[in-house]
Structure 1
Amino acid sequence: MRILNITLILITLASSLFSQNSEYLKEELLKVDFQPNSIDINKDNTKLLIGGENKMVMLYNLETKKEEFETEAHYQAVTEVCFSNIYDGFYTVGDKSFKLWLFGNDQPEKLFKGSHTFITDLDMTAKEDFFVGGSYEKRFRYWKDTAIEMPTEINTSQKKSVVSVAISKDGKKIAAGSLDSTIELWNTDSLRRTVKILAHSNPVCCLKFINNGKYLLSASHDGYVKLWDVATGNNIKVYKPHAQPISEIDVSPDEKLVLTAAYDNTIGLYNIASGDCIYQYHAHKAPVLDVQWNSNGDGFYSCDSEGNIYEWIVSKKIFAEFYFGKEMNDEINSNKLFSPRRKGESKEDYKTREERAEKFKNTLIDKYYKQYTELDKTQKIQR
Structure 2
Amino acid sequence: MNTKPPQTWKCEHTLKGHTASVNAVAIDPQGNILACGSDDRTVSLWDLKTGKRIFTFFGLLNAVFSVAFSPRTPLLVSGDFDKTITCWNLDTKAVRSFSSQSGTNHAHSGYIFSVAFTPDGETLASGSADKNIKIWNIPRWVSTRTLRGHTDTVWSIAISPDGQILASASADKTIRLWRLNSWEEPRILTGHSGWVTSVAIGHQGKILASGSQDSTIKLWNLNTVKLLYTLSGHSAAVWSVAFSQDKQILASAGKDGVKLWNLSKGELLHNLSGRHPIAFSPDGKTLVTGGDGTNLKIWRQYVPVTESAPNPALSGEWYSILGVDKLASPQEVKLAYRRLIKQYHPDLNRSANAKDIMQAINEAYAKFEEEARG
TM-score by length of 2: 0.72
SS at match of 1:96: coil
Q: Aligned pairs, how many?
A: 299
Q: CA deviation at 1:215?
A: 2.2
Whether the 8 Å CA contact 1:165–1:176 is kept in 2: the answer is yes
Q: Distance in 2 between matches of 1:62 and 1:209?
A: 23
Q: Does 1:142 align with 2:135?
A: yes
Aligned to 2:272: 281
The C-alpha deviation readout for 1:216-240, integer Å capped at 9, x for no partner, is: 1111111111111223321002113
Q: Does 1:39 align with 2:25?
A: yes
Aligned to 2:307: 360
Q: Distance in 2 between matches of 1:140 and 1:32?
A: 29
The C-alpha deviation readout for 1:54-101, integer Å capped at 9, x for no partner, is: 111112234565433212253221111233321123222213222331
Q: Distance in 2 between matches of 1:160 and 1:279?
A: 33
Corresponding residue to 1:258 among 250, 253, 259: 250
Q: Distance in 1 between matches of 2:131 and 2:70?
A: 28
Whether the 8 Å CA contact 1:249–1:258 is kept in 2: the answer is yes
Which one-letter code corresponds to 1:101 in the other structure?
W
Aligned to 2:58: 72
Whether the 8 Å CA contact 1:240–1:277 is kept in 2: the answer is no
Corresponding residue to 1:233 among 222, 225, 228: 225
Whether the 8 Å CA contact 1:30–1:310 is kept in 2: the answer is no
Corresponding residue to 1:25 among 2, 5, 11: 11
% same residue: 21
Aligned to 2:294: 307
Which one-letter code corresponds to 1:141 in the other structure?
K
Q: Does 1:49 align with 2:35?
A: yes
Aligned to 2:363: none
Q: Does 1:117 align with 2:110?
A: yes
The C-alpha deviation readout for 1:265-312, integer Å capped at 9, x for no partner, is: x11111223211111113x4xxx2211222332221212351121121
Q: CA deviation at 1:194?
A: 4.2
Q: CA deviation at 1:206?
A: 0.8
The C-alpha deviation readout for 1:128-149, integer Å capped at 9, x for no partner, is: 1122211223332222224432
Q: Distance in 1 between matches of 2:306 and 2:172?
A: 54
Whether the 8 Å CA contact 1:138–1:155 is kept in 2: the answer is yes
Pairwise CA RMSD = 2.6
Aligned to 1:192: 184
Structure 1's consecutive aligned runs of 4 or more residues displaced over 4 angstroms after TM superposition are 62-65
Q: Does 1:159 align with 2:151?
A: yes
Q: CA deviation at 1:43?
A: 4.3
Q: CA deviation at 1:34?
A: 2.0
TM-score by length of 1: 0.70
Aligned to 1:316: 303
> Structure 2 vs 1, CA of residues 294 and 175 (structure 1 numbering), >3 Å: closer, same or farther?
closer
Q: CA deviation at 1:204?
A: 0.8
Q: Does 1:128 align with 2:114?
A: no
Q: CA deviation at 1:181?
A: 0.8
Q: Structure 1 unaligned segments of length 5 or more: list them.
A: 1-21, 318-357, 365-369, 374-383
Corresponding residue to 1:102 among 82, 86, 89: 89
Whether the 8 Å CA contact 1:195–1:232 is kept in 2: the answer is no
Deviates more, 1:173-182 or 1:133-142: 133-142
SS at match of 1:243: coil
Q: CA deviation at 1:205?
A: 0.9
The C-alpha deviation readout for 1:196-223, integer Å capped at 9, x for no partner, is: 1113111111111223433211111111
Q: Does 1:81 align with 2:67?
A: yes
Which one-letter code corresponds to 1:269 in the other structure?
L
Q: Structure 2 unaligned segments of length 5 or more: list them.
A: 1-7, 101-106, 312-338, 343-374
| 1:197-208 pair list within 5 angstroms | 197-208=189-200
Q: Distance in 2 between matches of 1:159 and 1:110?
A: 27
